[in-house]
Chains A and B, each alone.
Chain A
Amino acid sequence: DAGVIQSPRHEVTEMGQEVTLRCKPISGHNSLFWYRQTMMRGLELLIYFNNNVPIDDSGMPEDRFSAKMPNASFSTLKIQPSEPRDSAVYFCASSLFTTDTQYFGPGTRLTVL
């Protein structure tokens, strides 16, 4: 298996632009997680899905952030409009069920200028 796939690996954009991060979970996994990691705040859970349904989005910082999982093999995290404080590494992870071992993707390093 190729593992969790994220794209793009790096994204540099200007403040106010829309950013879309993509994730393909491991086939057969039922749970998908989006995390954000910064030096200041550490690793933060933004939202997670179980069987394509959002279960907990309490970590989404603002309405500017939205996430979707239209099917079992694809999820997106969108930031619109982006701000410099959104600069971080965004990780996607998947697991068989919500409290099982999580497999992380390589991350997307987002820089908002």
Chain B
Amino acid sequence: SQQGEEDPQALSIQEGENATMNCSYKTSINNLQWYRQNSGRGLVHLILIRSNEREKHSGRLRVTLDTSKKSSSLLITASRAADTASYFCATGFQGAQKLVFGQGTRLTINP
């Protein structure tokens, strides 16, 4: 399967701590994207990182990409209760004309 796989499936931390989620994939990609989904809502795009990039930042979010290991990580620093959501990675595989979404990581921030 080309599907990216997130790890862990669920993560529960205390407010203020950092949260790290990982995504692994199997074939070469053009880009990798991270999305957030709050309960009952549509997915919201967070960050896109291209295959020739190694790290990107957006506010409290940091995404890294290691194409040699075929993996990416999403770091949320100084977590807040509002960060409670499911986080999905989506990969744009070379030769494919669509994104493939993983199963997501369910993040819970405890106050």
Contact = CB atoms under 8 A, between A and B. Distances in A.
Chain A contact residues, majority secondary structure: strand
Interface stretch (B55-63, B66-74, B92-100): B92-100
Interface residues of B, number: 21
Interface in B94-111: 96-101, 103-104
A71 interface: no
Contacts of B96: 99
A56 B99 CA distance: 12
Interface in A13-69: 33, 42-43, 45, 48, 50, 55-56
A102 B36 CA distance: 12
Contacts of B104: 42-43
Interface residues on A, range: 20 to 34
26 contacts: A4-B42, A33-B98, A43-B88, A43-B101, A45-B98, A45-B101, A48-B98, A50-B97, A55-B98, A56-B97, A56-B98, A93-B42, A98-B97, A98-B98, A98-B99, A99-B31, A99-B99, A101-B33, A102-B35, A102-B90, A102-B99, A104-B42, A104-B44, A106-B41, A106-B42, A107-B41
